[in-house]
């Protein structure tokens, strides 16, 4: 029926406008926040970026890094006995 088609066209148009606006906002935000483009294209962020934008994740990474380094140091110290 014609009224149903009009409603469908209206919903479709509004959905398209919301989608286009969302894309524009995301592109703007990616350009505005320094380091975001590199993070998306290379999969790497600096320590400073991680600490500023995701502090909880940064702390988890730092704790894991410290544990790994302490294990490596313990291994290096223990391996001196065999030289």
Spatial separation of the C-alpha atoms in residues 56 and 61, rounded to whole Å = 9
Active-site residue (options: 26, 38, 65, 71): 26
| 3-state secondary structure (DSSP) of residue 62 | helix
Where does the chain show beta strands of DSSP type E? Answer: none
The reply to whether 26 belongs to the active site is yes
So which residues are the catalytic ones? 26
């Amino acid at each position: 029926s014609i009224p149903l088609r009009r409603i469908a066209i209206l919903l479709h148009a509004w959905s398209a406008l919301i989608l286009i606006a969302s894309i524009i906002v995301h592109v703007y935000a990616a350009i505005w926040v320094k380091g975001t483009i590199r993070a998306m294209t290379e999969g790497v962020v600096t320590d400073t970026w991680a600490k500023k934008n995701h502090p909880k994740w940064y702390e988890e990474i730092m704790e894991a890094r410290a544990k790994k380094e302490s294990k490596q140091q313990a291994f290096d110290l223990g391996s001196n006995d065999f030289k």
